[in-house]
Every structure is written in C-alpha cells, then in structure tokens.
Amino acid sequence: MNRDGGFEFPLVKRTPSRFRNPIGKYRLNRSTACIACGKCVEICPYGVHSMVKGKVVVRNHYLCVGEDCPNPCHEACPVKALALRRNPDFAVMGDFRWPPDLIVSTWRMAEFGQAPDKGLEYRIGESGGGFDKLRIVFGPGKAEDDSGDKHEGAKADLGVKLNRRGDNAHRIRIEVPFYGGGMSYGSVSINTMLSRVKAATALGTFCCTGEGGYPDELKPYDEHVITQVATGLFGVREETIQRVKIVEFKYAQGAKPGLGGHLLGDKVTPGVARMREAVVGYPLFSPFPFHSVYSVEDHKKHVDWIKAINPKALVSVKVSTPTDVDMVAVGSYYAGAHIIHLDGSYGGTGAAPDIAKKNIAMPIEYAVPKVHRFLTEEGVRDKITVVASGGIRTPHDVAKIIALGADAVCIGTADLVALECIRCHNCESGRGCARGIATTDPELMDLVSLDWGAQRIVNMYSAWCKELRRILGRLGMKSIRELVGKRECLIHLDYN
Amino acid sequence: MPAKYLVHTSPAANRFEPITKSGIIAWEEGCLKCAVCVKKRCVYKVYEKRGLNPRQMIDSIDNLCMNCLRCVQGCPRELIHKSISPEYAAMGDDYWSPDIISKIWYQAQTGKIPVSGAGYPGPFSGPGFDSMWTDMSEIVRPTRDGIHGREYISTAVDLGGTEGALCFGEDGLVSGPEIRLLDIPLPILLRMPVSRKISPNIISGWAVAAKRLGTFLAVGAEEMVAAPESCRPFLMPILDGEVACPEGVRVVESTFSAEKDANSFKSGNDARFVCLRLPMNTGIEERVLAAARAGFSIIHIEASPNGSFLDDPGKTMKDGIRAVHLGLVEAGIRDSVTIIVSGGIAMAEHVPKSLICGADAVFVDLALLVALECRLCGRCDMDLPCPVEMDKAPPPWVAKRVVNLIGAWHNQLLEIMGAMGIRDARRMRGEAGRAMFFEELDKSTFQDLGRREEGCEIE
C-alpha cells in the first residue's frame, strides 16, 4: 500500500499526546443527572465517551467536533445531562498565523496521520493576507473524491530532484516536496533534533542541522543531514562538510534578516559550549553578514571551497527576502549553487527582536513569484532548485507556494507543533521551552522521547502527503512537478 | 566622527501590578489535594512566587504565568484552566492595542528590546505603518556589525533648514545667510500630550529625560515652570496664542497662519528657532509648501493619536508624510525645511518608517504616558482617580522610565538601519525605495492569478 516508485513510505502509527489532558476545541460537561444509559457512548462517532465500570465518563474531550457532529450526544441524551461548550484553554493558544485551529489540527495529524475531517480549520490561518487569502481553485467537473486512496491523485508523485545543474554532484531526489529547516543544537534539544532527522530519513528527505555544530548522535543519519555553514561558523569543520550530501550556506534568516543569529547565554550549556567551541553561559552571536563576502564573486569563492572539500555535495544558499531578492537568487546561481533557499520574513526563530520579525524584508508569498519570474527570464529557472520557507504551515501552504513558483519547501515550525509546541513564544527565556522542545535543560528535554517525536513528525507529514495528493488529484496532475509556477491554479480573494 | 551616542538604561520597576494577557483559573471543587500537584512542578515556579500554598486553589488572573499550559494539561482532575484576561483585552483601543501598551511597559521597565521566540505572530499586514516592510541588504552593505559595536551608525538629525546652494562673494568666501541648525542625537523628540492634564512631577521627569537623551521636550508654556532650570535648553515651549517667550530656550513651537512670515516672529527673539505646527488635514502637502516658502524651517505636522488625518480617519499619516515629502522634493526645497511628525507614534518601528516615508524626526507623546504605566483608560478625562496614581510618580522614576523606553527604541532603530545597511539616519529620510509597500506589492504579485469561473470550487 505504501509503495511508491521503489520508495516505501513509513507507516502511520497512532501517537497520542504526551500530556494527560490533550487540548481540543470543545468540552463536554456531564452533570450528575447522568443515568449511565450508554446512549452517548453508542452514538458518538469519535470515541469521546467511554463506559467505565458501569459509569459513563468523557474520556476524550479533545476528539469532540462540536457543532460539526452529525450525531450530537448532548441532543440525544435522554436526561439532558450533557452540555457542549468551547474549551477556554483553546482560545489562549496560538496567534494570527497559527490560530488554535491550526495548532490542534496539526496535533491531530501528528497523532493519527490524517487531516481532521470535521470541527477544525486545518488549511489556513487567520493572518488576513498572503496564504490566508489565497485559495486553490479546481475547475468545474473536478468534483471532490475523497474515497480513500482510490482518487485520481492517490499515486501522484511528490518527489523533487534537487540537482538540476547536471554537474558531478550527487543526483539527489527527495521523496516529498519538503525538507527540514535548520534548527541548531542549542536552540532545540538533541531529542528534538534527532526526532526531526529520524523522521526525515524515514520520509526519504533531509533535515538541516542549523548553525550549532553537528552532534555525533546524528551520525547514523548522515545520508539525510544538511549541515549549515553560517556566519558564526560554529561547529563547522572539514569533517562535518565531508559527512553530508548537502551543505547549506546561511546568509540570512527570514525572521531576523540582516541581524545574524543570537543564542542567549542561558542556553549555552556545557554541551552546547563544547559543540560550538565557546564559553558556558555566555551569549553567542552569529554576526551579519559573512565578513568575507561582499560580492557575488566572494560568494562564489565560498561555494568553491565547499566543492573542493566535498566535490559531490550539493550547495544550497539560504537568503532572506529583500527588495532585490531576485538579483540575489540569480547571483547565487551564477556562483554555482544548486539550491536557492528563500526564507520569508514571517519565518520561525528561537529568539529574535520582535521589530525584526514583523518589519524587515518581505513575506515569502511575494518573494517566490518574483524570483521565479526573474530566473525564468534569465533562462536559468530549470538549472536551479528554488526552495521556499518562512511561514509555511499546512499542506495547502505547500501547494500554494509551489504554484507560485517554488520547487520545494523547507519546514521548521510545523515540526515543532507536531511535538506539541503551543506557540507561547517563550523558547528563548530561562530554561527554555517548558514543553521540552526548544531547550537544553536536561530535565525538560527528557519530556520528548526520540521514538515518540519521530513518529509524530512522520504522522504529520503522512497527512500532508495525503492532502497534497488529494489536491493534485483534483487538479488532474500526476506529479507535484506539474504544479510548479501554475499561477492559474490559485486565486486571491481580494483580486477576484 | 561624533562621539558614539549611547542611551544609558537601568531597570525601573513597575509601581503597580501590570495587567497581563492571560491568567489561570482554578476551581476548588473536586481537587484531590494530590501529592504531586502540578502547581508544585511549574517550570516557571509561578505558584511558588505568588506565595500561595499550592494546595489552596483559588480563582486568579496571574501575571507571572508564561502560558506553557503544563499545569492545564497535567492536572489529574482537569481542574486548572486558562483564559484571556478581560481587563487586558479591554485596554486601549484598536490602534493602541493591549499588545502595544504592554510592550511599552516592558521597554520602560527594562530598557531592553522586546525579543521572543518563534516567528511573527501577528496579522499579515494592516493599515498605515503596518502596510510596509523595511528592506535589508543581503551581502553587500556598508555597515558591519553596527549593532554590536564595531562600526558606528549615526542616528543624529538636524532641525532647521539649509539653502539649496552655497553663495560665494567676490572674495571667494561663503556669503549669504548663515546656516543655523540644531542637531539632536536621535530622530525622536518628546512631547507632552496636550489633550491631557499632566501633573508637575511628570513634566519634571520628562524634562530630565529630554536632557539626558539630548533631545527636546515640547511642553505647554504654563506647564514648563515645573521643569528644573537646568533642563530649560531642552524644552520647546508650545506658545499657542501667546507671544511672550520664556528665557533660555532654543526653540519654540507655535501655530501661525502660513501667510505670516516666520521672520516677523523671530524679530525680538533672534536666536530662537521657530517650529510651526500644522494639523495633518487634507491638503497638508500644499500648506507645508506654502509655509516652507514663507520661511518656516521647522514644521511639525500633527496627526491624530491613532496615526490618521485629523479631518479624515480613513487616511493614514504614512500617506500624509509621503505626500508632504514628495511635494517638497518636487518643488526643489526639501532641504530648506525639517519635518517633524506626531500622533500615533506608538512603537519603535514607527520611527524608521516615518523617516522612510519622508519625515526628519518624530514626536513621541502618548507613549510617554504609557511608559509610566498609563493604561489609557481615560478615567482622568472624566476627573476620576488614576488607577496608577500618576500624580504621585517620583520625577527620577519618570525620567528613568522614559529614558528606558527611548533607549530601547533607539536600539531598535539601529537594528532596522543595520539590516538596511544605512549608517546615517539623515540618509534614511524619504528612502521609499528601501521599503516595500503592501498596496503595490500585493496587487502586482496577486492580481493576475487565476480566476474563479462558474462551477469552480475553491479550497
């Protein structure tokens, strides 16, 4: 069933929340009037209620789909003992970009490997612009066919070839149109890092180390690791460059373009300090820009170094999205890059000034079409792979950005949400993430186990792949490649 | 190169408990008093810091809570829940949002730049200043490490006008009128919010802050007596309807009819600079042109506290500033006048954005009150007692809070300039090509996408 052109996709295994009380959108209150007749247990399609030793209890509030339920228990209850209400905790989570609906639906995908069919909006957020105002448009007659895996797109090929230069470097094909974005050892725990890399390995794709060294624990997954060379050069050695198939130059990060990186002193634990060859407890700055790169020629020199040390490696260049992003992209191509990675301004970070996250550089939805058009006009579009990141949260966002001109995307935040991030924005303070994801605190990081984490991420991406195939099927496409730059598959609600 | 400008900040504690976004709601009913209460295991030790016995469960809206939801998700009886504080949600208005107010509090308290984890949480874009993004320079740029100190970024700006060209006499020396400028080390001036009653202790603290920052405080002529004598050179009296000018000040602000020549006021007050105040109303660009031609060299354009035109709330000051700047540029007299804007300057980013649109500097007004824990509740307008007892705020604390806020804003201005690769604030003025505007970008990117035809479905 999971066979797809020789590559075997990993199996989905149900992987519930780590916490005792999973959070959902609704709660059902059962009053003392309950006569334990079992009616609700019988009619609920979602397993919300259970009969335990002759008593009926609400076991899984979080699975309740509320008003969308075809068989509402609170209406069917003969003694009206059930009351449906919104869960107050739901509303305190998330934000405009990741509203609670998106967070909880991502959790649902990470648990079941399937997008929620009712009760939650899992396709768009509430930011009121960009992705959230774009819609995929399906021509007349392409009626939705959700019947299991039999629909037209069920076998659609999601793979993307990364080396389009046709040079001597590795001919790499990723089986899914995304890979894992750089999150450094230090900004996230080793368990989080390993979970992501292990999931990437299972999915036939890659995951980037970020700028914080290449821990030995990652060795078994070398074939699926991208190592990052950023301005601080933390943990970069010849040996780490030679270990991988893809090397990523990070010029800038979408969340804080032009500002370099910053790891607060609290997170520089002995392990992190050793990895980065730094001093425990002191903040680490990754300066901006590369102090040896002031022109495309300087940049080419860097690319050439990498090619000298590891001639088979693909070179990816990660840049932010200034007004002249198209010039930067074409410059990177002429310097020899295989991948131009555009990181839009609403991308993730472990810590960044709020002013930078909001204001500097443009959102990815503008940058990708601009770069796609310019590379096409230059006649080099088919020689370089365009990877987009920065605020891509859902399978629908993936389809939209590919239709705007990207070949593949790079994902970071969604992985963390799969590991039960609630977007509290406190990744950087004190001991780090209280939920054990973005922390190096030994006690907190043990909250995430490797197997649980990897499976949650695999499940989420399995759900994404199903959604992408369903979308491709409805568009009458056999491969994700057909979608690249197909602007006519999208509409924008403000200009239609 | 001038000496490096640094704003010295130091923590200035809140006098009252701040109102925060969300709190814990706990219900006593059903508590098991279990030995491993989640409250004891709070990562941030919130329950402990509040000095409560963890076994005692009460309703509370808690400002120490960091929103991790661990206790909500761990309680064996699901007795702990969270909610958004209604008091928080009710603060301010659509423009001065609870988020803006609480960030000003944080900066005034700590003097630090707000930093957080995870990506930007807000809307894609919004009205006015929220509809623009600033540029960054990827590889080639003049400033290295400007932020962390190796190379100098100047935020200084001049107040006053310069001639279009130098004139030389027959002796080969520069002739013509002497060029007089006032320079301030950052493009931010302080301003008393004139619509409110401000107590003398606050005026005194603000005046000290203006002196410490090296900028000006625009203050009512009646209120300025509260300022210490030593701060006088840093005051800009607002002389509406008055002629008598206090001694020892370098610049005054007034409203004139633009027809009246600036020089007629200057005679008798020779050394002083005059700042003309004009309301940001429809047609402001023509009135600024007329005033500049009449010889006014500093013009203050006052927008509404919500950053819009005074006569048309639908027009934002962002567009007003751009029109004024372009009008002056087209007339070839941009450098003969300094444009200072006020109203709606609520966040650090509004400073560089105003400059990029074409202002030389900004006045900060309401934010100076918010820095002192003001909740913008409007009780003072109704003669009701202030919930944060503003009239009892000690002047040294007031000064410290304002210096902290402006210090944090100055650092954020450096971040924006550093990313743009601009190292002189005067060069940022009118650099609209180094910004991206939503209206243009959104339309040009998305207007030619597909069309939704009859029978199409969208998702």
Answer whether B455 touches A (CB < 8 Å).
Answer: yes
Q: Does domain A160-495 sit in CATH 3.30.9.10?
A: no
Give the per-residue pLDDT at B145.
Answer: 47
Q: What percent of chain A is modeled with pLDDT above 90?
A: 78
Task: Identify the three-state secondary structure at position B69.
Answer: coil
Looking at domain B157-442, its CATH class is alpha beta
Give the per-residue pLDDT at B258.
Answer: 46
Tell me: cis bond preceding A289? Omega within 30 of 0 counts.
yes
Phi and psi (nearest 5°) for A361? Answer: 70, 170
Asked if B139 lies within 8 A of A137 by C-beta distance, the reply is no
With 0-12 CB in 10 A as exposed, 13-18 as middle and 19+ as buried, what is A6? exposed
Q: How confident is the model at residue B144 (pLDDT cuts 50, 70, 90)?
A: very low
Q: Give residues with Cβ within 8 angstroms of B266, minimum separation 6.
A: B272, B274
Answer whether A60 touches B (CB < 8 Å).
Answer: no
* C-alpha closest to that of B229 among B243, B211, B215, B213: B211
Point out the residue among A21, A135, A362 whose CB comes nearest to the CB of B133: A362
Answer whether B36 touches A (CB < 8 Å).
Answer: no
Task: Give the tens place of pLDDT for each residue, B147-159.
Answer: 555 567 899 999 9
Answer whether A29 touches B (CB < 8 Å).
Answer: no
Does residue B241 register a pLDDT over 90?
A: no
Residues of A in contact with B416 (CB under 8 A): 355-356, 359-360
One-letter amino acid for residue A389 of the chain: S
User: Which residues numbered 78-117 in A keep a CB inside 8 Å of some CB on B?
Assistant: 87-89, 91-93, 95-98
Task: Pick the residue of A192, A231, A359 with the most B CBs within 10 A to test the interface with B by mutation.
Answer: A359
What does the alpha-carbon distance between residue A280 and residue A267 come to, in Å, rounded to a whole number? 9
Answer whether A399 touches B (CB < 8 Å).
Answer: no
Does residue B281 register a pLDDT over 80?
A: yes
Helical spans, DSSP H, in B17-96:
46-49, 70-74, 86-89
Going from the C-alpha of B231 to that of each of A365, B104, B207, the distances in angstroms are 50, 25, 6
Residues of A in contact with B69 (CB under 8 A): 23, 89, 92-93, 422, 424
Give the per-residue pLDDT at A259.
Answer: 80
Residues of A in contact with B44 (CB under 8 A): 430, 434
Answer whether B118 touches A (CB < 8 Å).
Answer: yes
Three-state secondary structure string covering A337-385: CCEEEEECCCCCCCCEEHHHHHHECCCHHHHHHHHHHHHHHCCCHHHCE
Residues of A in contact with B443 (CB under 8 A): 495
Point out the residue among B25, B67, B72 whose CB comes nearest to the CB of A21: B72
Task: Give the tens place of pLDDT for each residue, B68-124.
Answer: 999 899 988 888 888 888 889 999 999 999 999 999 999 999 999 999 999 999 999
What does the alpha-carbon distance between residue A415 and residue A178 come to, in Å, rounded to a whole number? 12
Point out the residue among A360, A438, A488 whose CB comes nearest to the CB of B117: A438
> What is the average per-residue pLDDT within B191-209?
94
* C-alpha closest to that of A231 among A253, A254, A215: A253
CA torsion through residues A275, A279, A284, A290, sign: negative
Answer whether A495 touches B (CB < 8 Å).
Answer: yes
Asked if B113 lies within 8 A of A355 by C-beta distance, the reply is yes
Residue pair A424/A405 in contact (Cβ under 8 Å)? The answer is: no
User: Which residues numbered 191-250 in B keep a CB inside 8 Å of some CB on A?
Assistant: none
Going from the C-alpha of B218 to that of each of A255, B240, B254, B275, the distances in angstroms are 37, 12, 11, 10
- Alpha-carbon gap: B189 to the closest alpha carbon of chain A (Å): 20
Task: Identify the three-state secondary structure at position A173.
Answer: strand
Task: Pick the residue of A25, A29, A97, A354 with the most B CBs within 10 A to test the interface with B by mutation.
Answer: A354
Give the per-residue pLDDT at A185.
Answer: 86
DSSP label of B391: G
pTM for this one?
0.94
What does the alpha-carbon distance between residue A308 and residue B286 come to, in Å, rounded to a whole number? 63
- Supply angle C-alpha A441, A443, A448, rounded to 5: 90
Residues of B in contact with A474 (CB under 8 A): 459
What does the alpha-carbon distance between residue A194 and residue A190 come to, in Å, rounded to a whole number? 6
Chain A residue with Cα closest to B454:
A140
- Alpha-carbon gap: A103 to the closest alpha carbon of chain B (Å): 13
* C-alpha closest to that of B231 among B215, B251, B211: B211
Task: Give the tens place of pLDDT for each residue, B420-441.
Answer: 888 899 999 999 999 999 999 9
Point out the residue among A23, A97, A474 whose CB comes nearest to the CB of B119: A97
Task: Pick the residue of A20, A59, A288 with the most B CBs within 10 A to test the interface with B by mutation.
Answer: A288
Chain B residue with Cα closest to A441:
B43
Asked if B147 lies within 8 A of A259 by C-beta distance, the reply is yes
Asked if B124 lies within 8 A of A132 by C-beta distance, the reply is yes
Asked if A127 lies within 8 A of B67 by C-beta distance, the reply is no
Give the per-residue pLDDT at B146.
Answer: 46
Asked if B118 lies within 8 A of A390 by C-beta distance, the reply is no
Chain A residue with Cα closest to B457:
A138
What does the alpha-carbon distance between residue B156 and residue A383 come to, in Å, rounded to a whole number? 47
Give the per-residue pLDDT at B267.
Answer: 47
Answer whether A292 touches B (CB < 8 Å).
Answer: no
What does the alpha-carbon distance between residue B133 and residue B435 come to, in Å, rounded to a whole number? 6
Point out the residue among A91, A323, A391 whose CB comes nearest to the CB of B436: A323
Q: How confident is the model at residue B331 (pLDDT cuts 50, 70, 90)?
A: very high
Q: Which stretches does DSSP call E strand in B171-306?
A: 174-175, 182-184, 188-191, 217-220, 235-238, 251-254, 273-279, 298-302
* Unique residue bearing structure tokens 């048309």: B312
Interface contacts (A, B; CB < 8 Å): 290
Q: Give me the residue spans of the domains in chain A.
A: 26-86, 160-495
Answer whether A296 touches B (CB < 8 Å).
Answer: yes
Architecture of domain B20-90: 2-Layer Sandwich (3.30)
- Return the H-helix or E-strand segment holding A52: strand A49-52
- Supply angle C-alpha A388, A326, A331, rounded to 5: 100
Asked if A129 lies within 8 A of B124 by C-beta distance, the reply is yes
What does the alpha-carbon distance between residue B455 and residue A119 come to, in Å, rounded to a whole number? 26
User: Which residues numbered 215-274 in A keep a CB inside 8 Å of some CB on B?
Assistant: 251-252, 255, 257-259, 262
Taking chain A (496 residues) in runs of 10, the rounded mean pLDDT of each run is 68 97 94 94 95 92 94 95 93 95 98 95 97 94 58 87 96 97 90 97 96 90 95 88 95 85 78 86 81 83 93 96 94 95 94 94 98 98 98 98 98 98 87 89 92 98 97 95 97 93
The set of long-range contacts for A29-32, using a CB threshold of 8 Å and a minimum separation of 24, is A29/A82, A29/A83, A29/A85, A30/A56, A30/A57, A30/A58, A30/A81, A30/A82, A31/A81, A31/A82, A31/A83, A32/A81
Residues of B in contact with A422 (CB under 8 A): 67-69
Residues of A in contact with B412 (CB under 8 A): 353, 355
The CATH number of A26-86, from 3.30.70.20, 3.90.1150.10, 3.40.50.300, 3.40.50.740, is 3.30.70.20
* C-alpha closest to that of B119 among A134, A287, A323, A421: A421
The per-residue pLDDT of chain B, averaged, comes to 88
Asked if B415 lies within 8 A of A348 by C-beta distance, the reply is no
End-to-end alpha carbon distance in chain A: 40
Answer whether B45 touches A (CB < 8 Å).
Answer: no
Q: Give me the residue spans of the domains in chain B.
A: 20-90, 157-442
With 0-12 CB in 10 A as exposed, 13-18 as middle and 19+ as buried, what is B446? buried
Asked if B118 lies within 8 A of A421 by C-beta distance, the reply is yes
Answer whether B94 touches A (CB < 8 Å).
Answer: no
Phi-psi region of A198 (alpha: psi -120 to 50; beta: other; left: phi over 0): alpha
Residue pair B242/B221 in contact (Cβ under 8 Å)? The answer is: yes
